Amino acid sequence: MTRFFQVAWLVMRKDLRVESRSWEMVSTTLFFAASTVLVFAFAFVRAGRAVDGAAPGILWIALAFSGTLALGRAFERERHQDALRGLLMAPVERSAIYCGKLMGIVLLMGAAELLVVLAVALTFQAPLLRHPFYLTALLATGTVGFAAVGTLFAAMLLRTQSRGVLLPIILYPVTFPVLIAGVGGTVALVQADPNLELVRFWVALLCFFDAVFLVLSLWTFEPVMTE
């Protein structure tokens, strides 16, 4: 078990180290996330006032879009000089490689989330930071669920043609439940009279989703990557 986490940690460290040389992915993903929020601001702010109730949806859409972008780019790196094949040939459990990549993606999406939450709270005057603990729980469980499926699909599509457009096509329908739960929880959190019990329900549901999707992804990674 420790070996599993050691390998995952090594893979994540490798990704972080490569990223730290150029900060390309982090900076471009963050900028994209900010741009997305701005696009929604132009769409939904009328006469200087934000449309009511749009903030939770925009938050999660911005996360979904920047997450998809980050996933595509994270694995694009592995295509150069057949890096992925080298990684897969290593005498380690393949699901540990998956776990390492997943942790890297979650970190990147987390960074984007920080920016998006602040941007949405500012541009839409939404009281997102009223219950930071609950918001963090929602975002964390939602991100893990989205990234768990996304990492698997992005890895699967690495050697596929049309992978750029196929990733969102196959990712979004499967992760709609996560997005619905996330938005539902955020709505319950920012409404005038926050319904914390409902938020807890959604967080619990997200945990359940995460458990199911993580287990399925861990199991599916090995047979799918043998091609």
Q: What's the rounded Cα separation, in Å, for the pair 207 and 202?
A: 9
- How near is the Cβ of 107 to another protein at its closest, in Å? 24
Which residues contact another protein (rule: CB under 8 A)?
A: 149, 152-153, 156-157, 159-162, 166, 169-170, 172-174, 176-177, 180, 212-213, 216, 220, 223-224, 226-227
Torsion of CA 36, 132, 72, 221, to 10 degrees: -150
Q: Closer CB to another protein, residue 44 or residue 213?
A: 213
Q: Which is nearer to another protein, 128 or 146 (CB)?
A: 146
Cβ-based nearer residue to another protein, 104 or 184: 184
Specify which residues 49 forms β-bridges with.
46
Q: How far is the CB of 181 from another protein (least distance, A)?
A: 10
- Comparing CB distances to another protein, the nearer of 22 and 161 is 161
CA-to-CA separations, 7 to 2, 61, 100, 149, 162, in angstroms, rounded: 9, 33, 7, 20, 31
Of 159, 150, 162, 178, nearest in space to 61 by CA: 178
Whole-number minimum distance, CB 95 to another protein, in Å?
A: 14
Q: Which is nearer to another protein, 132 or 164 (CB)?
A: 164
DSSP per residue, 4-53: HHHHHHHHHHHHHHHHHHH-HHHHHHHHHHHHHHHHHHHHHEETTEEPTT
Least distance between another protein and beta carbon 165 (Å) = 9
Residues in Cβ contact with 33 at an 8 Å cutoff, skipping those fewer than 6 apart: 62, 63, 65, 66, 112, 115, 116, 119
- Least Å distance between CB 103 and another protein? 20
Nearest distance, CB of residue 177 and another protein, angstroms: 6
Q: Are 180 and 64 in contact (CB under 8 A)?
A: no
Question: Quick one: 138 or 178, whose CB is closer to another protein?
Answer: 178
